[in-house]
Amino acid sequence: MKSLKDSYKLHNGVLIPCVGFGTYLSAEGDVAYNSVRTALDAGYRHIDTASVYGNENSVGRAVRESGIPREEIFVTTKVWNSDQGYKRTLKAFEQSMNNLGLDYLDLYLIHWPRIKGKEAQWAEYNRQTWLAMTELYRQGRIRSIGVSNFKPHHIESLMEVAEVLPMVNQIELHPGLLQEDTVGYCKEKGIVVESWGPMSRGKLLGTGVLDPIAEKYGKTPAQVCLRWHLQMGFLPLPKSVTPSRIEENANLFDFQLMPDDMAFISSISIETGTGMDPDKVAH
Which residues are identified as catalytic? Answer: 53
State residue 98 phi and psi, 5-degree precision.
Answer: -65, -40
Query: How many alpha carbons fall within 13 Å on the CB side of residue 280?
Result: 4
Using CA atoms of 272, 39, 216, 254 in order, give the dihedral in degrees to the nearest 10.
130
Greatest distance between any 2 Cα atoms in the chain: 54
How many residues in the chain? 283
* Rounded Cα gap, residues 177 and 268, in angstroms: 9
- The answer to whether 8 touches 33, Cβ cutoff 8 Å, is no
Per-state percent for the chain, helix, strand, coil, to nearest 5: 45, 15, 40
Query: Which residues does 119 contact at the CB level (< 8 Å), separation at least 6?
Result: 282
* Rounded Cα gap, residues 21 and 30, in angstroms: 16
Angle in degrees, 0-180, between the axes of helices 152-159 and 180-189, rounded to the nearest 10: 40
